[in-house]
């Protein structure tokens, strides 16, 4: 009798499951056809995950989350939305590492891109024409949902590597290509958006289009840095170069900003084709008095003298420099590094170095993540401010912002980054906006806040920084911008706005995609 009761219960739950899943989903706003409805989750936990991001500041609840098992699921969803008198919004979500709700939608559908990886793990990263070393047409085809760490690990098996990576690699290919994808390698090889040979994109009309600089180029350049506005990237072809085995990783400390920035500019000024001895990576960090100093890079015996240098100066600047090498050039590398830093004007004896594998260097931020996570310091609010500053005004920025706002207010927590890059490695036809000078700096205040009160303080500080730049006539461009009014977006894009708007009309006329950016809604 017990077995038959159990069997009846089992049948009953199967019938209930079929009824629930086969019925078209219907709410006030959204009706989804049967075939797609079964792939849309409305599970509370899934919805809650899609309602937040790495910023933990903005929260928007979607109607549902599409768990696609193929590229056509996404295309069908977009087509369906287009067919309705009142289309619903759709937002691709890579790793959700935005900080201002950019991958969210209020009552629309979030597409969980990572689900594409689950279907056939590994087969969405395919290396071609490399034969153990890089050749001119050595590249990798990767799904837009793939994380850069997986792309790197796969290419390294072939002795090759993407040339331009971000500081943190647990970001999706589609996510960074929708912004720019920058790091200390950008000065040499350009941002990640300058390192793409071809894309497959599902446009806002649901059409799957292959594009490149020579084929459907309008869509290609629109999507690169396009903040998800014109289509969903489902494949990117990325050029590869030979992978080094090891790196010399140096940090040089300066107490004078002018010497620091001149040296950074000197290091990025060479022509990549001619100079095999040039730096492979150049970044910079602030060390601020009265704030928690992260000295984990430096030998413990040097901590007291570094702390005292920072205390004396209030603010010091750390130039971070990397030179790649192979194990067979061990001796030569010492000479190359000596030549590189020979003329630099850091505080004498304040030069520190590590010798690590290429992978260890590239995965450095994940090492921080593994340290911070168990302490509950990773999944907390991140009121970040990222901006590009023209070189001609960087010393005004140092005085007005680093010294007069950041240092004085003493509320900075997290990392502050500053490094220059060359405009000639950026393609002007791309959607990304940058300052109109040959050299410009990234300045990133990567704050981590312990609660809402701290979020407000950092937001007020960010606002003050932007106001200072505006009042001083420093023509900055925000990077990873968000939470702007329509008018502020128009200002952000400046001379590129008209084109951006025209492309939206062409590729996503019903304004369905990436509403979380707040540009057209």
Q: What are phi and psi of 321, to 5 degrees?
A: -135, 140
Closest CA to 179 of 192, 188, 168, 170: 192
- Token pair of 486 as six digits: 């329509």
List the catalytic residue out of 53, 200, 283, 320.
283
Per the annotation, the verdict on 97 as an active-site residue is: yes
Shortest Cβ contact with ligand FAD: which residue? 174
Q: Which is nearer to ligand FAD, 134 or 226 (CB)?
A: 226
Closest CA to 89 of 26, 45, 30, 24: 30
Query: Is the dihedral angle over the CA atoms 78, 80, 86, 88 positive or is it negative?
Result: negative
Shortest Cβ 198–ligand FAD spacing (Å): 15
Shortest Cβ 209–ligand FAD spacing (Å): 13
Q: Which is nearer to ligand FAD, 95 or 264 (CB)?
A: 95
Q: Which is nearer to ligand FAD, 183 or 261 (CB)?
A: 183
Residue 379's SS3 state is coil
- In the DSSP assignment, the letter for residue 268 is T
Q: Which is nearer to ligand FAD, 284 or 516 (CB)?
A: 516
Cβ burial, residue 3 (10 Å; 0-12/13-18/19+): exposed
Separation between Cα atoms, residue 148 and residue 167, nearest integer Å: 10
Shortest Cβ 364–ligand FAD spacing (Å): 11
Shortest Cβ 223–ligand FAD spacing (Å): 7
What b/e readout covers 94-120, taking b as 16+ CB neighbours within 10 angstroms? bbbbbbbbbbbbbbbbbbbbbbbbeee
Residue 336's SS3 state is helix
Query: Is the dihedral angle over the CA atoms 41, 46, 47, 53 positive or is it negative?
Result: negative
Shortest Cβ 178–ligand FAD spacing (Å): 4
Shortest Cβ 309–ligand FAD spacing (Å): 27
Are 318 and 251 in contact, with CB atoms under 8 Å apart? yes
Q: Which is nearer to ligand FAD, 63 or 346 (CB)?
A: 63
Residue 174's SS3 state is helix
DSSP string, 87-153: PPPEEEESS---SSSTT--SSSEEEETHHHHHHSTTTTEEEES-TTS--TT-EEEEETT-BHHHHHH
Separation in Å, CA 11 to CA 2, 14, 34: 14, 5, 22
Separation between Cα atoms, residue 210 and residue 198, nearest integer Å: 7
- Token pair of 179 as six digits: 């912004």
List the catalytic residue out of 154, 167, 198, 363.
167
Q: Which is nearer to ligand FAD, 87 or 516 (CB)?
A: 516
Q: What totals of helices (H) and strands (E) does the chain contain, helices first?
A: 19, 20
Q: Which is nearer to ligand FAD, 161 or 183 (CB)?
A: 183
Separation between Cα atoms, residue 229 and residue 512, nearest integer Å: 8
Q: How many CB atoms lie within 10 A of CB 331?
A: 7
Per the annotation, the verdict on 283 as an active-site residue is: yes
Shortest Cβ 115–ligand FAD spacing (Å): 12
**Which residue bears the tokens 């459907």?**
216
Shortest Cβ 68–ligand FAD spacing (Å): 11
Q: What is the contact surface with ligand FAD in residues (CB under 6 A)?
A: 53-54, 91-98, 102-103, 113, 144, 166-168, 171-172, 174-176, 178-183, 227-228, 232-233, 365, 480, 514, 516-517
Query: Which are the catalytic amino acids?
Result: 97, 167, 283
């Amino acid at each position: 009798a017990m077995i038959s009761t159990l069997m009846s219960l089992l049948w009953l739950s199967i019938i209930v499951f079929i009824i629930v899943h086969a019925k078209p989903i219907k709410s006030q706003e959204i009706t989804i056809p049967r075939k797609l409805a079964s792939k849309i989750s409305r599970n509370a936990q899934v919805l809650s995950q899609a309602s937040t991001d790495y910023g933990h500041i903005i929260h928007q609840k979607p109607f549902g989350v599409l768990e696609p098992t193929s590229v056509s699921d996404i295309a069908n969803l977009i087509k369906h939305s287009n067919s309705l008198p009142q289309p619903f919004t759709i937002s691709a979500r890579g790793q959700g590492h935005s900080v201002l709700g950019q991958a969210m939608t209020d009552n629309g559908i979030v597409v969980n891109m990572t689900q594409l990886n689950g279907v056939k793990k590994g087969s969405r990263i395919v290396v071609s024409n490399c034969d153990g070393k890089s050749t001119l047409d050595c590249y990798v085809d990767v799904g837009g949902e793939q994380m850069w760490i997986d792309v790197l690990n796969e290419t390294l098996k072939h002795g090759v590597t993407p040339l331009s990576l971000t500081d943190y690699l647990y970001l999706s290919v589609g996510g960074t290509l929708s912004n720019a994808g920058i790091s200390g390698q950008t000065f040499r090889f350009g941002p990640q958006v300058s390192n793409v040979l071809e894309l497959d994109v599902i446009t806002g009309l649901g059409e799957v289009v292959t594009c490149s600089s020579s084929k459907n180029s309008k869509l290609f350049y629109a999507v690169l840095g396009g903040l998800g506005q014109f289509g969903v990237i489902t494949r990117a072809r990325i050029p590869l170069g030979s992978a080094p085995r090891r790196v010399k990783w140096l940090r040089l400390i300066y107490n004078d900003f002018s010497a620091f920035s001149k040296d950074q500019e000197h290091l990025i000024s060479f022509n990549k084709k001619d100079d095999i001895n040039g730096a492979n990576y150049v970044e910079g960090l602030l060390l601020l008095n009265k704030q928690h100093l992260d000295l984990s890079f430096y030998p413990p015996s040097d901590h007291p003298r570094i702390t005292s240098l920072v205390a004396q100066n209030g603010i010091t600047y750390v130039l971070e420099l990397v030179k790649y090498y192979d194990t067979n050039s061990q001796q030569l590398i010492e000479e190359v590094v000596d030549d590189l830093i020979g003329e630099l004007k850091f505080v004498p004896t304040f030069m520190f170095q590590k010798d690590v594998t290429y992978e260890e260097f590239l995965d450095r931020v994940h090492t921080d993540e593994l340290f911070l996570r168990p302490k509950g310091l990773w999944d907390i609010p991140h009121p970040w401010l990222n901006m590009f500053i023209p070189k001609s005004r960087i010393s005004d920025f140092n005085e007005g912002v680093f010294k007069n706002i950041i240092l004085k207010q003493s509320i900075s927590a997290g990392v502050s980054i500053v490094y220059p890059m060359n405009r000639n490695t950026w393609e002007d036809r791309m959607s990304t906006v940058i300052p109109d000078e040959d050299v410009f700096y990234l300045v990133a205040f990567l704050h981590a806040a312990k609660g809402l009160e701290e979020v407000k303080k950092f937001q007020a500080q960010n606002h003050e920084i932007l106001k200072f730049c505006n009042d001083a006539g420093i023509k900055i461009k925000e990077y990873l911008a968000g939470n702007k009014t329509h008018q502020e977006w128009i200002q952000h894009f400046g001379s590129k706005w008209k084109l951006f708007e025209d492309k939206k009309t062409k590729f996503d006329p019903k304004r369905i995609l990436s509403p979380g950016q707040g540009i057209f809604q």
